[in-house]
Amino acid sequence: MSKIDTLPIEEDSVANPARSSGLAFDEETFRRIGYQVIDEAASYLNGIRERPVWQSMPDNVHKAIREQELPAEGHPFEETLAFMKHMILPFPQGNGHPRFAGWINSAPAHAGVLVKPLAAAMNPNCGIGDHAGQELERRTVQWMMELCGFPVEGSAGVFVSGGSEANFTCLQAARQWAAQVDGWDVRAEGVQGMHRPFVLYQSDQGHFCIRRSVEAMGLGHMAIRIIPSTSSFQMDVERLRQQIVADWAAGLRPFCVVATAGTVETGAIDPLDDLADLCDEQGLWLHVDGAYGAFGILDEHVAPLYKGIERADSLATDQHKWLSVPIDCGCALVRNGAALRAAFSLTPPEQDEHEPWLSEYTLQRTRRFRALDVWAIIQSAGRNGLAEAIANNNKMALLFAHLVETQDDLELISSGPLSIVRFRFAPPQLRNKPLPLDQLNKAVAYEMQQRGRAFLTSTRFQGKEALRACIVNYMTTEADIQAIVDETLYVGRKVVSRYS
């Protein structure tokens, strides 16, 4: 027996170094502080309606946060918690409030909040190894496929940071697939002009993250062909066909059509089945950006609009939007699982000694335990609970549009089929004066945000500055919708009176 084996080890000698450094607490302290944190979280969530939707940070709060000095010594955690309570919690983005309808950011489902500490306590790397975290992700990703009507057999997917990364991941798979079809390997050769230049297609209603992905892939945004949309804000399939044929004839390499299931401007859903037919005919990969709207398929009233999503080669979804998963969480789904792996893996499939690790399907090697949040929320709500929440959001949007149409000072620009309404504060006497109306609606959005009773954003759409309501909060009621409309009218008239 070696000398080291005979040394007596006292429990305190193992525990004290970590505790004295502030990196660990004894069990009693951990429980006591943990209860305090849970109390704060419960008070925060249950008191949301009584607080402003959003409020600006006073100068003293800005200063307190920005001018903190790097501590040389640790502080008691109670002091850290007190700072958060007074300087951070009162100043949220606002997306937890039921009258927040600015960006497509949802309130967190409570089950997702509660399991966060457990995921952090386990702290697994869900990119490598044989453990429950990876196994749970594999199954929960399949649930995402089932929820969206995406085929499970032979498919693969991974949780990522959000819709932007999900789209990027799927487009990488699409490009590698196209190169392999043409007999070369883009991962090996790169984009050096030795082959026909890749081009892909997106409607003028598509999200800007596609451009960012294409730029990051080294293709340059000039590789994107922007296809006009129809009067219903859907991609024009015939115009798309003409552009693809022209690009083939010009010696380019069309490789992917990016359809959208729920645009962020109007909630439009591209004609997925027709696009799938065209992609089959032309030999292109069909990718669907469903970051916002893919889970709208759970609402039986709009589900028929998703016909063809089951034929997509890949689908990007955002769980931290309509599934109310705490930020951040998205998911990349690819029908041909081997194609997704081919875009990222460094291990040839024939060398596998075990089921491939999830890091073989994504850029990240070290990955946090995102699946636990998603899994817990689905366990808590079930498919029917999720469907009910989404259908109610769509119903609230219909009510919103109806209320807008009943007001002379409001002008409806677009609504449906999902939970986005675009409108303007437009008193009849100003409707023929574009510049004042644009300035007015910017001012209305800003003033509403400052007042803290409701939250809308202004965006430019079809040459007009407009207000946009994105309803994705499972707590939003008819009374909340009425309150947002009333606040818009009050603020709009107040702003007009200042300049009259």
The pLDDT of residue 193 is 83
Residue 218: pLDDT above 50?
A: yes
Token digits of residue 481:
């919708």
Average pLDDT, rounded, for the chain? 95
Global pTM? 0.94
Residue 141: pLDDT above 80?
A: yes
The pLDDT of residue 13 is 46
Q: Which helix (H) or strand (E) element contains residue 272?
A: helix 272-282
The pLDDT of residue 353 is 73
∠339-342-346 over CA atoms, to 5°? 160
CATH class of 124-368: alpha beta
What strands lie across the sheet with 156-160, from one edge to the other?
A: 156-160, 330-334, 314-318, 285-290, 253-260, 198-203, 224-227
The pLDDT of residue 281 is 98
The pLDDT of residue 465 is 94
- The CATH number that domain 31-56+91-108+385-500 falls under is 3.90.1150.170
Domain boundaries, the chain: 31-56+91-108+385-500, 124-368
Token digits of residue 160:
């990522």
User: What is the DSSP track for 157-224?
Assistant: EEEESSHHHHHHHHHHHHHHHHHHHTT--HHHH-SSSSSPPEEEEEETTS-THHHHHHHHTTS-GGGE
**pLDDT tens across 413-454, in order?**
999 999 999 999 999 988 877 679 999 999 999 999 999 999
Which residues have CB under 8 Å from 64's CB, separation 6+? Answer: 83, 87
What's the rounded mean pLDDT across residues 142-162?
A: 98
The pLDDT of residue 347 is 87
Task: Give the separation between CA 322 and CA 390, rounded to whole angstroms.
Answer: 7
Residue 17: pLDDT above 70?
A: no
